[in-house]
Amino acid sequence: MSICRKCILNLKPYVPGKPIEEVKRELGIDDVIKLASNENPFGPSPKAVEAIKNYAEQISLYPDGSCFDLRKELANHLGVEPDMLIFGAGGDEVIFYLGMAFLEDGDEVVQADPNFAEYKAAATIMDCRTNMVPLQNWTHDLDAMLEKVNEHTKIFVITNPNNPTGTLVSADDVERVLDALPERCILFLDEAYYEYVDDPKYTRSVQWAKEGRNVLALRTFSKVYGLAGLRVGYGIGPKHIIESMERVRAPFNVNSVAQVAAIASLNDQNQVKRSREQNNRSKEYLYKELDTMGVAYTPTQANFLWVDTGQDCKKVFSDLMKLGVIVRTGDIFDCPTHIRVTTGTDEQNERFINTLRQVLGL
């Protein structure tokens, strides 16, 4: 007999992208590339690496639980008040804090499907129901999502750009949702890939937060800033939302090395610019090659591409892996012929395309 909370019995532990070392061990191959977790192929800013080295001898001390310096730098960078920010050990933790602070018995979450797994996990842990609304043309079907809003709805999620499809919802459309939501409901805008977006119609989340609207925008240092291994992300919201989330935040949740690395990364916007430029080059190359191969994909505003292989994705995944290329299968999103591939360096992109061509027999 299980003595744990009933609501978590159906919760499956998160399945991450397969680590390079695991593939090397399991398959006995040396030359492996990972394009599975939307990391930055160029790694972190050299300034962040330097800051980490300089800080190393101070790690016997607890971190600053309030992230004072990082908060100040980031508030300045975004043009918001410092108390409009909450930090987490990755954006993941911020998602859980949102659930812990606002979801109670009988509350519901509305989100798209397929979508990033952690919103549903956070709702399930709080014993709350999630209404999953199928994407239309691989993007949020906002009208259908709004139809699901009822007196129990507490959080409405827009993943912008969406994971796994890379599609965007325009700021005007987000604002339409914001205007339509009842007062008790929070609009959660997951903007983990914010820095990669080049569509001018993109978000006004900072402005909405400054206006005191019920929004929380999520961003992270894991993606364009290349600090995924250090775990640091943040939420931007009006004070009344941040203040509630601060009540459930674990003490010292963002480690000190992550804090100094994040500050150094913020101060190296050239690294962001270079990464965006490379991502745009990668997108162009992948589109061109996939078009030539006649393989369908969804144009992306992020650093990953949603590709319909037309074949069993698990087989495609395992054949690619045997040849040293790790991607993500679509079956975890109930899309049995899709894969999600992260954009890489020029060399990695070429290797992915050549290997995919071989695996698909094209």
Ligand X SMILES: Cc1ncc(COP(=O)(O)O)c(C=O)c1O
Binding interface with ligand X (CB under 6 A): 38, 90-92, 116, 159, 163, 190, 192, 220, 222, 228, 233
CB neighbour burial string for 24-54, b if at least 16 within 10 angstroms, e if fewer: eeeeeeeebbbbbbbbbbeebbebbeebbee
Contact of 215 with 32, CB cutoff 8 Å: no
Contact of 305 with 297, CB cutoff 8 Å: yes
Cβ-based burial of 235 (10 A; exposed 0-12, middle 13-18, buried ≥19): buried
Identity of the residue, 37 or 256, whose beta carbon is nearer to ligand X in the bound complex: 37
Contact of 180 with 150, CB cutoff 8 Å: no
Identity of the residue, 23 or 112, whose beta carbon is nearer to ligand X in the bound complex: 112
Identity of the residue, 117 or 149, whose beta carbon is nearer to ligand X in the bound complex: 117
Identity of the residue, 77 or 315, whose beta carbon is nearer to ligand X in the bound complex: 77
Identity of the residue, 33 or 258, whose beta carbon is nearer to ligand X in the bound complex: 258
Identity of the residue, 220 or 271, whose beta carbon is nearer to ligand X in the bound complex: 220
Least distance to ligand X, CB of residue 288, Å: 25
DSSP per residue over 139-175, as a string? B--HHHHHHT--TTEEEEEEESS-TTT-----HHHHH
**Coil/strand/helix, residue 192:** coil
Contact of 179 with 149, CB cutoff 8 Å: no
Least distance to ligand X, CB of residue 88, Å: 7
Contact of 130 with 11, CB cutoff 8 Å: no
Contact of 149 with 157, CB cutoff 8 Å: no
C-beta nearest to ligand X: residue? 90
Least distance to ligand X, CB of residue 354, Å: 26
153: tokens are 């709805």
Least distance to ligand X, CB of residue 275, Å: 16
Least distance to ligand X, CB of residue 163, Å: 4
* Cβ-proximal residues to 111 (8 Å cutoff; 6+ apart), any chain: 119, 120, 130, 131, 132, 133, 145, 156, 157, 159
- The dihedrals phi and psi of 354, each to the nearest 5 degrees, come to -65, -40
Identity of the residue, 222 or 253, whose beta carbon is nearer to ligand X in the bound complex: 222
Interstrand relation of 338-342 and 108-113 (parallel, antiparallel or unpaired): unpaired
Identity of the residue, 130 or 163, whose beta carbon is nearer to ligand X in the bound complex: 163
Contact of 114 with 165, CB cutoff 8 Å: yes
